[in-house]
Amino acid sequence: MFLLKRFLQYISALFLFILSVFSVLLGFNENVNKTVRYFLDKAFTHIYTDLDVRIIVLTVATIFLLLSLGAIVSAIKFGRREQTLGINSPYGRVGVSAGAVEDYLAMMKNDIKGVKNIFPKVFLRKGKVKVYMRVSLWSENAIGDSVINIQNGAKEYLEEILGVDRVGEIRVFVGKIIQKRSSDKK
């Protein structure tokens, strides 16, 4: 993906450079203007009259359109900078990515009774850590007790194990309540 992105950047830069040079030349020199018009007229006449050339131009244009749309989607999807949580240690500051904290919080499901799955999302806002969790619970335990256990467990994980001192809020959304079957463990 990185090479494709780099390739599209170079192609876009080259295209813009050529377009800029033609624009400048068209503005300053009337002979260039006539020459460019002549070549464009010939090219468009050839494109309109020859089916093979139209198919080739359409194919190349479609490929570049799809590649540019892919670059736009990639820039939107992966363009935001990964948030990191700063933790002080005796040897200096340590950065822990929000994704690593999310993975760590997801492992809490093994420690809290009545929880099947935890899907956390960590946000770092105004110096505080906010955690939003979507959970699936087993039906045999009280929902209120399970949610409180999840919130307390997340706070303990963040404060004691990771060393985070500013936990903002921990929201829990119960997405599923699952009826436990005899074949299910836990």
Q: Tens-of-pLDDT digits for all 186 residues of the chain?
A: 567 767 777 777 777 777 777 777 766 766 766 777 777 777 777 777 777 777 887 787 787 777 777 777 766 766 555 677 777 778 888 888 888 888 888 888 888 888 889 999 988 877 788 899 999 988 888 888 888 989 998 998 888 877 777 788 899 999 988 887 666 555
**What is the reported pLDDT for 171?**
93
**What is the reported pLDDT for 118?**
92
Angle (deg, nearest 10), helices 51-78 and 2-28: 120
The CA-atom distances, in angstroms, between 17 and each of 29, 37, 39, 63 are: 18, 19, 19, 21
84-178: CATH topology is Alpha-Beta Plaits (3.30.70)
Pairing relationship of beta strands 167-178 and 128-138 according to DSSP bridges: parallel
**What is the reported pLDDT for 79?**
53
Within its chain, how far is the Cα of 156 from the centroid? Answer: 29
The CA-atom distances, in angstroms, between 84 and each of 9, 67, 96 are: 28, 31, 5
Domain coordinates of the chain in residue numbers? 2-78, 84-178
**What is the reported pLDDT for 185?**
53
* C-alpha to C-alpha distance for 16 and 135, rounded to whole angstroms: 49
Pairing relationship of beta strands 167-178 and 92-97 according to DSSP bridges: unpaired
Q: What is the amino acid identity at position 47?
A: I
b/e per residue, 49-69, with b = 16+ CB within 10 A?
eeeeeeeeeeeeeeeeeebee
- Per the CB < 8 A criterion, the answer to whether 98 and 86 are in contact is no
The encoded tokens of residue 58 equal 């359409």
**What is the reported pLDDT for 70?**
72
The encoded tokens of residue 158 equal 């963040």
The encoded tokens of residue 85 equal 């949580």
Note the pTM of the prediction, 2 decimals.
0.53
**What is the reported pLDDT for 95?**
82
